[in-house]
Homo-oligomer: A and B are copies of this chain.
Amino acid sequence: MSPAPLDLLQGTLDLLILKTLSWGPAHGYAVARWIQQLTGEVLLVGEGSLYPALHRLEERGWIESEWRLSEHNRRAKVYSLTNRGRQQLRAEAATWGRFVEAVTKVLRANAQPA
């Protein structure tokens, strides 16, 4: 059996959403499915996490929305990245990189520092 899906670490959801939207406008449901597919079901974004996050990002001016019809002929709120959102994405990606690097340093060490 495949391993259980992981809980998201706080802060990474914003980064993931911004990143997926950098590929072009999309509605929330699609964002969640893309993340799920790309990670091989490792990251599952629940709708109760997704929609609050989208509202939050929009409120901060990093994304903006418009009602449209989806490929499946359903009403859908399509989000796109704003310029400030693009900036934010760069910043958060850099922060994520620094963070992973730092944690990795600790995990790789096999003795206390002098």
Contact = CB atoms under 8 A, between A and B. Distances in A.
A99 B6 contact: yes
Interface string A80-105: 00000000000001011011111101
Interface of A: 3, 6-7, 9-12, 15-16, 19-20, 23-24, 26, 30, 34-35, 37-40, 42-43, 93, 95-96, 98-103, 105-107, 109-113
Interface centre among A7, A11, A102, A103 (most CB of B within 10 A): A103
A24 B112 contact: yes
Given A9-B10, A9-B99, A112 B23 contact: yes
Contacts of A24: 112
